[in-house]
Amino acid sequence: MNFTLKIWRQQNRTSKGKFIEYQAINISPDMSFLEMLDAVNRDLTKKSEDNIAFDHDCREGICGSCGLFINGRAHGPQRGVTTCELRMRHFVDGTTITVEPWRSRAFPVIKDLVVDRTAFERIIQAGGYVSVDTGSAPEASSIPVPKANADEAMDAAACIGCGACAAACKNSSPMLFLSAKVSQFALLPQGNAERRIRVQQMVKQMDEDGFGLCSNTYACEVECPKKISVVHIARMNREFLRAKFL
Amino acid sequence: MRAFIDFYNSSVGKKLIVGLTGLLLISYLVIHLFGNLLIFRADGGEAFDTYAEVLPQIVVIRIIEIGLFLLFILHIITAAYTWILNKAARGDAYKIQKKNETSKVTSRTMFLTGSIVFIFLVVHMRQFWFNSRYEATEGYSMFEVVRATFSNPVYGAFYIVAMFLLGFHLKHGFQSACQTFGIRTKNYVSFIDLIGIVVWLLIPLGFASMPLYFLLYF
Ligand code: FES
């Protein structure tokens, strides 16, 4: 397959970026989107040109570092996949593909398609943890957890913190991320002790980072590579209300 | 007070205020609509005129009216403030973003539909509320004013279009408020959507039926 790529190139945080066109030639339909970018970069290396910078690590959809905004969609047009899991067979041969970095004031561009997502780390540091010494793995079933709660907490814990929710949201709100973290702990006995303080501090940090406010468009749910549901946002709102008023 | 300022300053707090005021305003719309339906009584507007005359004489109603003004102001100012914050949160815009594939148009146009409904509200208040309260003369008939206003095709059409947009606004607004209050859980989504139909379809339709009635029959 052959593609024309329009890729956002930006030297550093402060410079003004622009789109530059590249040709991706002889691309196998089984290649992932990142492998296709690797192929383009190999050509650039041969020509001694500056490679296109993009973030990646696991390349199997578990680390959350590879978010790209492809043809106007976070992680491309396919549902429930990260950019590294997206295959080139989902694109029409000979077409033009536009690639942009996540755009959010809280995710400044570092270079080309790489953005600084430490805002998410700060949100986690504000409350996305349980402050007890966990020690070694406890005896199974020593803390009873209803199966339904365990399942839902597990669904929430599937969040890989890739930032697609904030990237796709018209308000640049990371509420799906934040709510997944809040849910994951609120549903389990271990997280119970700190549930009030957790939700308040995480929301406060989100606001300080300059993210927008959720207006329930649910674009995040459509774009989430882990298909996390907006019911977690409803739960997070409940947690917040309860922390403030009960 | 400190606690309230903290609450208002937080993003979720602002959302809760917009949602709560929105839900209260919806409940006002229901009452307003039921009262106005008197206009359809075939008595030459007698019942409607009495209703319009007696209502402002009740002290409780006057107090509720002030509360209503405050609700509107809080709803509008908070929503406008969040809109400004949200614009700023994006920074540089995407060059291509396929929003239609990920969200509904009603959810993305709340500021626009809300603004138009606000303009409608100002015109509407001037026409009916201010008129009857401060410029009424001897023998003033609310029914006659309504009839004259709605028989005017321009005003009638404006009113109907505004109600259409109000429906748009409520379609997203109602379920969004339920989500913000955390009651839109898996088990209740379909129930909320059902009540939502009453809210976004029947209320605006009920209001729009009045200008339609006068346009067609008078
Ligand atoms: S590279 Fe780890 S999720 Fe894509």
Structural contact between residues B192 and B178, judged by C-beta atoms closer than 8 angstroms: yes
Mean pLDDT over B40-62 rounds to 89
pLDDT in tens, B153-206: 999 999 999 999 999 999 999 999 999 999 998 899 999 999 999 999 999 999
DSSP letters, chain B, are -HHHHHHHHSHHHHHHHHHHHHHHHHHHHHHHHHHHGGGGSTTTTHHHHHHHHHGGG-HHHHHHHHHHHHHHHHHHHHHHHHHHHHHHHH-SPPSS--GGGTS-HHHH-HHHHHHHHHHHHHHHIIIIIIHHHHS--TT--HHHHHHHHHHSHHHHHHHHHHHHHHHHHHHHHHHHHHHHTT---GGGHHHHHHHHHIIIIIHHHHHHHHHHHHHHH-
**Range name among A82-91, A173-182, A206-215, B38-47 with the lowest pLDDT average:** B38-47
Give the residue-averaged pLDDT of B48-74: 92
Q: Looking at beta carbons, which residues of chain A come within 8 Å of B174?
A: none
pTM summary value: 0.92
Quick check: B166 contacting A, CB < 8 Å?
no
| Terminal-residue alpha carbon distance, chain B | 54
Structural domains of chain B sorted by starting position, each given as residue range(s) with its CATH number in brackets? 2-217 (1.20.1300.10)
94-113 in B: which are within 8 Å (CB) of A? 94-99, 101-104, 107-108, 110
Domains of chain A, first to last? 3-111 (3.10.20.30), 118-245 (1.10.1060.10)
Please give the pLDDT value at position A147: 94
Residue B218 has pLDDT above 70, yes or no: no
CA dihedral A109, A114, A118, A119 (to 10 degrees): 50
Residue nearest to atom 1 of ligand 1 (CA): A59
Provide the pLDDT confidence category of residue A61 given band limits of 50, 70 and 90. very high
Averaged pLDDT score across all residues of chain A: 95
Asked if B96's CB is within 8 angstroms of A71's CB, the reply is yes
Note the pLDDT tens digit of each residue in A173-211.
999 999 999 999 999 988 988 999 999 999 999 999 999
Please compute Rg for chain B using Cα positions.
20
Rounded to a whole number of angstroms, the distance from the CA of B62 to the nearest CA of chain A is: 31
Asked if B56 is an interface residue toward chain A (Cβ–Cβ < 8 A), one would say no
CB of A61 closer than 6 angstroms to any ligand 1 atom = yes
pLDDT tens readout for residues A115-125: 999 999 999 99
Q: Which residues does residue B52 pair with via DSSP β-bridges, in sequence order?
A: none
